[in-house]
Chain A
């Protein structure tokens, strides 16, 4: 039986950029004057995230995250906060949809510029057990956006 992960796939998963975000997460900490706070847990592995979002109309003016988890969940959250800050809700939702496509192995998503550094996470698609780690922050953000719109 062949293992699902070759050495090349492992290297693709743990790129320097991902380890850099894991060890020096951007936008980590508490956000004063946040409008929304969402907590999410991954019950399987114990990863947890608390996301605080400040809005200016429909625009995410600032956001911070806290919590702990594996390199994939932390890097994904860090990259996400950098990418969506200053963007409008609809645009963020569209990026989120494409990021989900990327995690489901849609190769075309890997070429899309609007995903920015998140494209470094494309290797996660080869590790089905880890996809939920990469999506944890996005689930929190989408919940925050949904709460804002109601």
Chain B
């Protein structure tokens, strides 16, 4: 049985319009309970419209043509950059480089800055909480440069052990890579404290994976204090295939290009080439202008809600989910207490494998993620091969939690557990 939906739902206590109606995929499928936004978010109609509108009214290759349509395409692309930069608290707009997403942004830093600055005997610090995208590029760089990769361990409840981090930092540390919010557990890391530790104990640069923070928390790059911040559009209501890297001007200007080709050059001689200015130096080839425009519309949607309200909405859903799930016998929740997490609940139940749980929940219209969440180093430390993960966003409500709990009870029944 599926939980019914109320026509008017609450959002941070205030009576509000039906947010689900803004998302065509959800509006077209009332029985669907989408609880996998940490993997990718659904898209509001305004984002889909913005992309379509770009192709219908402004499509041309930006930065190329002398004709008015190309100028319009260039303007759309640049306005999108400005809007997204403002949303993420970046005053120097040229320091926001568009990439395909977080993974490409982190690979950019590892390949460009990393290869130029890390050498034999140096040290790179990552954490046990990382997504593979902020772990493997550094591991591979360390192998290539014969540098040492060191892993910051966790407290028993899935938070970074800052004493461990302090112990790892020294004059040989070149990079410290960590996430703002863990995709697997939802842990919100104390970025300011981490940055201060790095500054006090090393000359390393800080690389922050913001894939799970930009969608869910108010973020201001200029006040975070990190050297690099990477994010993905598709997790924050935008389209797939667009995201970005934010850095500091002096650092970015001193870095060699990551990819070479069109748009990123200043002058190409037969023997050598000079590079274009920021941000173009890091954006080789035809830019993904349409998706940048789509992400700009997503940011507009989030700004209209207010990121403080997005956060408190998720918090209230999560504390409710936590309470309901804790009542289920044999269910174990991983990670820090609910207040230290963004809208993610990672759990296991008795001997029901998360994969089986996800299949049974799918039968009830509930989409959750089951697996290692691209965080195998973390799973090893938790000593579980996999967990089930439910994650919340702006369009979720209590009916989704009811459906989650109902589905888990169904799984218990199938696996022969008596009702609790």
Task: Give residues in A with beta carbon < 8 Å to B.
Answer: 1, 3-7, 9-11, 13-14, 19, 22-23, 44-48, 68-72, 127, 129-130, 133
Contacts and interface: CB of A to CB of B under 8 A. Distances in A.
Contact of A10 (B31, B32, B354, B414): B414
Contacts of B31: 1, 3
B136 to A, nearest CB: 13
Interface string B358-389: 01101111000011100010010000011000
B29 A46 contact: no
B385 A19 contact: no
Nearest to B366: A3
A46 B359 contact: no
Contact of B356 (A5, A6, A72): A72
Nearest to B386: A46
Given A45-B370, A46-B372, A46-B379, A127 B365 contact: no
Contact of A44 (B359, B362, B371): B371
Given A46-B376, A69-B385, A5 B416 contact: no
Given A14-B414, A45-B386, A1 B32 contact: yes
Interface of B: 28-29, 31-32, 351-356, 359-360, 362-365, 370-372, 376, 379, 385-386, 414-416
A142 to B, nearest CB: 22
Contacts of A72: 355-356
A1 B25 CA distance: 10
B359 A68 contact: no
Given A13-B359, A19-B415, A69-B385, A3 B371 contact: no
A5 B359 contact: yes
6 contacts: A1-B28, A4-B362, A10-B359, A10-B360, A46-B379, A70-B356
B131 to A, nearest CB: 15
Given A14-B414, A46-B379, A129 B351 contact: no
B28 to A, nearest CB: 7
Given A46-B372, A129-B359, A70 B353 contact: yes
Contact of B371 (A45, A68, A71, A130): A45
A6 B363 contact: yes
A3 to B, nearest CB: 6
Contact of A19 (B28, B355, B363, B416): B416
B385 A3 contact: no
Nearest to A67: B385
Contacts of A47: 355, 385
Given A3-B365, A10-B414, A45-B386, A130 B379 contact: no
| List of 8 A-B pairs having minimum Cβ-Cβ separation, nearest first | A70-B353, A70-B355, A5-B363, A46-B385, A46-B372, A45-B371, A46-B386, A1-B29
Contacts of A68: 385
A3 B355 contact: no
Contacts of B354: 45, 70
Contacts of B29: 1
Nearest to B379: A46
With a 10 A CB-CB cut-off, give which of B359, B364, B386 has the most chain A CB atoms.
Answer: B359
A11 to B, nearest CB: 8
Contacts of A13: 359
Nearest to A23: B351
Contacts of A71: 352-353, 356
B362 A3 contact: yes
Contact of B385 (A23, A48, A133): A48
A7 B355 contact: no
Nearest to B415: A19
A127 B385 contact: no
A69 B362 contact: no
A6 to B, nearest CB: 7
